[in-house]
Copies of this chain bind each other. A is one copy, B any other.
Amino acid sequence: MNTKENKSNSEKVFGESRNVGIDGASQNILIIGAGLCGSLLALRLGQRGYNVNVYEKRPDLRTVDISAGRSINLAFSDRGNKGMKLVGLEDNVKALCIPMHGRMIHDKDGNTFMSNYSGRDYEYINSISREDLNALLLTEAEKHDNVNIHFNKGCKSVDFENTTALFKDYLDKSEFIEDADVIIATDGAGSNLRKSYYLGRKFLFSFSQNYLTHGYKELSILPAEDGGYKTFKNALHIWPRGDFMIIALPNLDGSFTVTLFLSYGEGEYNFNNLTTPEIVTEFFEKEFPDALAIMPNLVDDFFENPTAPLGTIKCSPWHYKGNTLLMGDSAHAIVPFYGQGMNASFEDVVEFDAVLDEGHDNWEAIFKAYEKRRKPDTDAIADLAIDNFHEMKDHVGQAIFQEKRKIEMALEKAFPDDYSSKYSLVTFNEDIGYREAMLKGRAQDKAILNMLADGEVSTALDLTEIKNLKTILDKVTEETRAILEDDEIAGLS
């Protein structure tokens, strides 16, 4: 996380209604889903003075343990932090964070090496508990009298022409309909509003769901006897194996949440054939011996926890007239490999808030402006996340990519104001959008990889020598500019 001071967002006054085109107090907003995006949105709209009702299908996670082997912890970084600054919770969230300064790569022989996320020491990402963060946001939202959160009430369908939603109360089994001025669905990748758009066939709805051939399963490394961490705490651990991998992120209690990413049906070992404790153990002995040594609970975790798919969802339009809007994963679910899913959803709220400041006088104009401004960026992070799947499981183990990384780290360290790698542009340069980060970052990658292949730049040079680095920086800058210009002339950007 970027801890530079004097960010423009931190100067904003929170909890105060500013230039709102639509008067907050007269508007009833219904939010479907009190997950990370829904609870931040509720808090922010509450601060702006709207009457907010949130309906959540699950019980209150502050009173019932509902984690079930899926996404126990998450990567939290600068874009997500913009959302926390917006609502004044930056310091509260910092207390929940475990900094991860880089990837710690584990090879098959158990050797490790650290690959930092940035050459700037103050840039790092964080591991955070989904539950703790969600609880904080819910509690803060509920401090506003104009925000009410209703648990155990699941949305069955949305009538987007009449701006009403049908709910089922899971406690007393009753069904009821709620009316609102606008309905915003933050109900995740399986969104019921999005399903209503698709099945309703009332307008042309572009939609895609694309699954990787791989699924994932959560496992764990438990704390040591003394409550400490069994491997290095401040890193995102990766065991890249070409076609599959495991990763591990630290938790505050000394444990790590481990995730296995593996093909459903291809390769010698896959989810379809890992069916007995013996085969699972054999697979880990062969591929991840150092991890297995600190995972005595592997077999129990493996057979208790579900195997889940990895899908990308894109769609458009996100809104129906001025009645309903999709936000967060319901509009743009992505695979987890850039650690940006939650960050993108929090940035949605920041962007939506900025559109509210533009002073539009009707919801349709607000929703339209929001989608127009936001969709190119969420499309970009979806594509970047798939790129990073290949980078993490495979490229990080290849010589040419390691050389590129070495050069970029040196450039970022020597020229902190003049160079940012693709990873840094996406993760730490939160003042540019994902799309701009993608275009520039991909062009830089292409420039460096090709100059390495052609011998125009080389890690054989002394990279502690500033003169050498300046020459490399100038070449990379010039070649990146040429690549972007060539693409533009060819109509490719």
Contacts and interface: CB of A to CB of B under 8 A. Distances in A.
A480 to B, nearest CB: 12
A204 B213 CA distance: 9
Interface stretch (A79-87, A297-305, A445-453): A445-453
Contacts of A314: 208
Contact of A208 (B208, B446, B453, B489): B208
A395 B492 CA distance: 13
B211 A210 contact: no
Contacts of A486: 446, 450
A464 interface: no
Nearest to A395: B491
A490 B486 CA distance: 16
Contacts of A27: none
Interface string A429-454: 00000000000001001100110010
A490 B207 contact: no
A309 interface: yes
Contact of A210 (B208, B210, B449): B208
Contacts of A390: 491
B206 A207 contact: no
A311 B206 CA distance: 9
A209 interface: yes
B211 A208 contact: no
14 contacts: A204-B309, A204-B311, A206-B208, A206-B210, A207-B209, A207-B210, A208-B209, A395-B491, A442-B490, A442-B492, A446-B487, A449-B489, A450-B489, A450-B490
Given A204-B309, A309-B204, A490 B446 contact: yes
Majority SS at the chain A contact face: mixed
Nearest to A314: B208
A450 B207 CA distance: 35
Given A449-B490, A489-B453, A492-B446, A206 B204 contact: no
A52 to B, nearest CB: 31
B445 A490 contact: yes
Given A208-B209, A446-B489, 18 more contacts: A204-B264, A206-B209, A206-B210, A206-B211, A207-B209, A208-B208, A208-B210, A390-B491, A395-B491, A442-B490, A442-B492, A445-B490, A446-B486, A446-B492, A449-B490, A450-B489, A450-B490, A453-B489
A211 B12 CA distance: 39
A174 to B, nearest CB: 27
Contacts of A208: 206-210, 314
Contacts of A491: 390, 395, 449
A175 to B, nearest CB: 23
Contacts of A204: 211, 264, 309, 311
Nearest to A487: B446
A291 to B, nearest CB: 27
A179 to B, nearest CB: 28
Contacts of A445: 490
A4 to B, nearest CB: 31
Interface string A197-209: 0000000111111
